[in-house]
Amino acid sequence: MTMDREFFISFRRTCVMIAVFAASFIVVYAGVVALTKFVYVYFRGFLPEFNENILRAVFYAIAVASFAAFRVIFKRRYSPQALAPRLKDPDGLVRHLLMTHVISMALAEAVLICAFFLFFLSAMYVDFVILALLSLLIIILSVPGIGFLENTINSLENPADSRSGRPKKA
């Protein structure tokens, strides 16, 4: 099964639309944080007496674990071992690729939710911004490029001889 450039462009467009939807939650949460900051000037969080360092450590650990999981999942799901068996079933390949992107978006939203909880528990505005930016980074990194998709999929369909760069003879 040979995939043309139109397939990759269409798939990337779908991923971008999902990413824009996920990134819109960053804007919504940031709006709630800004509104809370300016309307409730004396807001100190719902657990103001709790140790901020413990809260920060817990939520940053979850965020870093989510980022690490994203990198591992992205690498494994785009590996030749994961993609090669699906080349014969175009629907299965598309489901696999799309599910990879959806999982990445879920991990990005997990980081954003950590940021939101950290803010509401202890009014940590700067930490919210840092984790929201990490969430945005995951969203941006999860959208595969057209060249990446073409090279990854087409290299599995037409393995090249490592010395000459030409396709191997059957």
Closest CA to 131 of 119, 120, 142, 122: 119
Q: Please give the mean pLDDT across all residues of the chain.
A: 88
Q: Is 167 helix (H, G, I), strand (E, B) or coil?
A: strand
User: What is the number of residues in the chain?
Assistant: 170
- Model pTM score: 0.84
Structure confidence by residue, pLDDT tens digits, 118-164: 998 988 899 999 999 999 999 999 999 999 988 888 888 776 543 34
Q: By C-alpha distance, which of 39, 57, 26, 67 is closest to 122?
A: 57
Q: Quote helix, strand, coil % in the chain, to nearest 5.
A: 75, 0, 20
φ, ψ for residue 160, nearest 5 deg: -95, 150
